[in-house]
């Protein structure tokens, strides 16, 4: 969202932001924010969130109708789908469709509807090239998952320091990935004196994971965090766990952790069976493994012990340059949309 708002503020475009304050964490919003302030527990199963989401979708639909906007930007697919009856005629070529995650695309009817939204947009941007393949499209722009305010860190985050205790610190930061993944982490690294594991973030499975790892002295689980804490945790880590389980969305996604590697100069541990795992290994940004392997802890340890950090930094710099070039094109398209 920052990239849109920064662009509009820079060129002096009036805008309103329609959002859902789901956790009630902010008491006051700017005057140009239209806020749906009904709280909703984000940790409950998806089916329990349906009613709240439908109420929010109706709030968005009515806000668009009443406020009579000239143009729209959809930051989630589900809201774009819910608003389709209103927007497909009145806003043809007058909206940006910002596509960040797959959801129900395995359903052919849903996929056809989203394809219509893509075709009628001023432009569509996607956070992974693999998402475009689901729709068989070539005309889209990359929307990379990083914030420019974090890039200042990149200039100084280029020194390689080994922890004094000789252990390798692995960090998973973000939403936890399910009990199967958690159990396997405990099996692989629990009480392995070569590693310290930090799981920072919250999900439906966080409480059960705390119980799972209670017997391991080298695995720490922490819940929610803010951006300042995130920077601190990453700076203390040696490698970042970007090992997502295989599913329809994760197999194709390119998540924030990929960009944490580029900004903070930390090697990644990925899943070789996913697009991100293949990409990070091809670009020389870490190691991708199969968590089902009996040797994956040894593989990670040997990778880190033999890491050529200068070569790694060169790989990071090369990939970051590519990302910034693609993002420049994306930002120019946003400005073009705002001015036309």
pLDDT at 26: 76
Q: What is the mean pLDDT of the chain?
A: 90
Rounded to whole angstroms, the Cα distance separating 111 from 88 reads 16
Nearest to 186, CA basis, from 212, 222, 204: 212
The 10s digit of each residue's pLDDT in 111-140 is 999 999 999 999 999 999 999 999 999 999
- pLDDT, one tens digit per residue, over 290-331 is 988 999 999 999 999 999 999 999 999 999 999 999 999 999
According to the model, what pLDDT value does residue 262 have? 94
If one compares 73 and 48, the residue with the highest pLDDT of the two is: 73
- Burial class of residue 335 (count of CB atoms within 10 Å of its CB; 0-12, 13-18, 19+): middle
Confidence check: pLDDT of 39 > 90: no
- Per-residue CA distances from 282 to 17, 50, 288, 289, 316 (Å): 39, 39, 10, 13, 12
Helix (H, G, I), strand (E, B) or coil at 289: strand
What average pLDDT does this structure show over 164-181? 80
Mean pLDDT computed over 61-90: 94
- Tell me the Ramachandran region of residue 192: left when phi exceeds 0, alpha when psi lies from -120 to 50, beta otherwise: beta
Q: At 163, is the pLDDT very low, low, confident or very high (cuts 50, 70, 90)?
A: low
């Amino acid at each position: 969202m920052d990239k849109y708002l920064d662009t509009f503020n820079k060129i002096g475009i009036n805008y309103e932001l329609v959002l859902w304050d789901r956790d009630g964490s902010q008491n006051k919003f700017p005057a140009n924010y239209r806020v749906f302030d009904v709280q909703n527990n984000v940790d409950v199963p998806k089916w329990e969130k349906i009613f709240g989401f439908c109420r929010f979708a109706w709030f968005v639909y009515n806000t668009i109708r009443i406020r009579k906007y000239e143009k729209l930007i959809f930051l989630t697919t589900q809201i774009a789908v819910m608003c389709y009856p209103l927007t497909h005629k009145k806003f043809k070529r007058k909206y940006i469709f910002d596509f960040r995650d797959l959801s129900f695309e395995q359903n052919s009817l849903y996929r056809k509807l989203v394809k219509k939204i893509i075709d009628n947009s001023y432009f569509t941007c996607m956070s992974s090239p693999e998402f475009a393949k689901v729709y068989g499209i070539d005309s889209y722009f990359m929307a990379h998952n990083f914030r420019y305010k974090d890039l200042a860190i990149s200039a100084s985050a280029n020194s390689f320091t080994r922890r004094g205790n000789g252990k390798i610190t692995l960090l998973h930061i973000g939403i936890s990935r399910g009990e199967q993944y958690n159990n396997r982490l405990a099996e692989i690294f629990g009480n392995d004196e070569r590693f310290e594991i930090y799981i920072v973030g919250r999900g439906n499975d966080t409480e059960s994971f705390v119980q799972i790892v209670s017997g391991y002295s080298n695995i720490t689980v922490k819940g929610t965090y803010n951006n300042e804490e995130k920077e601190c945790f990453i700076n203390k880590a040696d490698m970042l766990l970007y090992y997502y389980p295989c599913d329809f969305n994760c197999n194709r996604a390119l998540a924030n952790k990929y960009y944490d590697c580029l900004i903070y100069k930390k090697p990644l541990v990925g899943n070789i069976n996913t697009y991100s795992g293949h990409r990070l290994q091809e670009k020389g940004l870490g190691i991708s493994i199969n968590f089902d392997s009996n040797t994956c802890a040894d593989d990670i340890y040997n990778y880190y012990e033999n890491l050529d950090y200068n070569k790694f930094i060169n790989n990071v710099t090369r990939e970051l340059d590519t990302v910034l070039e693609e993002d420049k094109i994306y930002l120019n398209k946003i400005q073009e949309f705002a001015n036309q």
